[in-house]
Amino acid sequence: LGSRAFMAVPRAGNFVGATRRASSLQAAGQSVSVLATGGSLLNGLRARQWRREVATATMDTEHKDVSVVKSDDQWHELMAATAESGSTLVVLFKKDFCRKCAAMKPKFAKLARAYSGRGVVWAEVDGVKLGKALRTELKLAKVPSFQIWGQGRVLEHFDADMDLSQTVLNISELVDKHSGGAGAVPADNLLLRDLNRFTVAKEMSNLQVSTA
C-alpha cells in the first residue's frame, strides 16, 4: 500500500461543517478588522476636530487694543466709526488655520498697545467672513495682509514679509507717516531698526567714496 493509505478521508458532512466554521471565523475576523479601522478613523476625526477647535480658539483671542471684525456688517460699522472720528485705521487681514496669521497676531497686538492713545484704531479682520464681493472690492488676494486707512480711503496696502519683524517695522513707519505721530516701535525691534538704518547709511557712504 502506498503512503496515502494511512491518510484519513474526511466525510462529506465533516468537510461542509469545517468549511462553514472557517467561513464564520473569516467573517468574524473581517468584522473585527472593520471595527478596528472604524475606531481608528473615528479617533483621527476626533483628534482633527480638537486641533481645529484649539486653532480657532487661538485665532479668536481678542486684545483690548484691537477690534475684531467677523462680518461685512461689522466692517462697515468700523469704517463709519473711524471716518467719523478722523482716526487712522490699521487693518490686519487674516483667516483661521493660517500659521503666519497666528504668528502675526501677538506682534500686531503689541503694536496696538504701543500706539495706545495716539488716535490710531487697530483691527484684525477675518477675510473669509467678509464675503467674496467685499474681498474683491478691497483687493484682498492673500493673508496676512495689511491696509492703512485715512479720510475714508486706503492709504497703504501691503502683504506680510517673510520676516515678520520687518513687517512690524514697515507698519510702524507707515503709521507714523500717515498719523503724524512719533515712532512707537516696540523696544525689542528698536535695535533691528537702528541696525538696518546704520547698514544703509554705511552702504551709501561706501558708494559715495567709490564714485569720488
- The answer for residues whose C-beta is within 8 angstroms of residue 184's C-beta and 6 or more apart is 111, 114, 115, 118, 172, 175, 176
User: What's the mean pLDDT in 82-95?
Assistant: 94
Summarize the confidence of residues 126-144 as an average pLDDT: 95
Which of 12-21, 51-60, 110-119, 175-184 shows the lowest per-residue confidence on average (mean pLDDT)?
A: 51-60
69-78, 106-115, 124-133, 172-181: which has the minimum mean pLDDT? 172-181
pLDDT at 140 over 80: yes
3-state secondary structure 46-98: HHHHHHHHHHHHHHCCCCCCCEEECCHHHHHHHHHHHHHHCCEEEEEEECCCC
Per-residue pLDDT of 12-30, as tens digits, reads 555 455 556 656 656 556 6
* CA–CA dist 207, 22 (Å, integer): 88
Contacts of 165 (CB under 8 A, 6+ apart): 107, 189, 192
Instruction: Summarize the confidence of residues 159-183 as an average pLDDT.
Output: 88
Task: Decide which of 56 and 180 is more confident.
Answer: 180
- Of the candidates 135, 115, 97, the residue with the CA atom closest to the CA atom of residue 176: 115
Cα–Cα dist 157/146, whole Å: 6
Q: What pLDDT does residue 145 have?
A: 97
Q: Is the pLDDT of residue 156 over 60?
A: yes
d(CA 138, CA 100): 21
Q: What is the pLDDT of residue 64?
A: 80
DSSP 129: G
pLDDT band for 59, please (50, 70, 90 cuts). very low
Pick from 46-50, 70-74, 117-121: least confident: 46-50
pLDDT beyond 80 at 1: no
pLDDT band at 151 (very low <50, low <70, confident <90, very high): confident
Contact 168, 112 (CB under 8 A): no
More confident residue, 206 or 112: 112
Report how far apart, in Å, the C-alpha atoms of 27 and of each of 24, 33, 58, 90, 210 are: 5, 10, 46, 64, 85
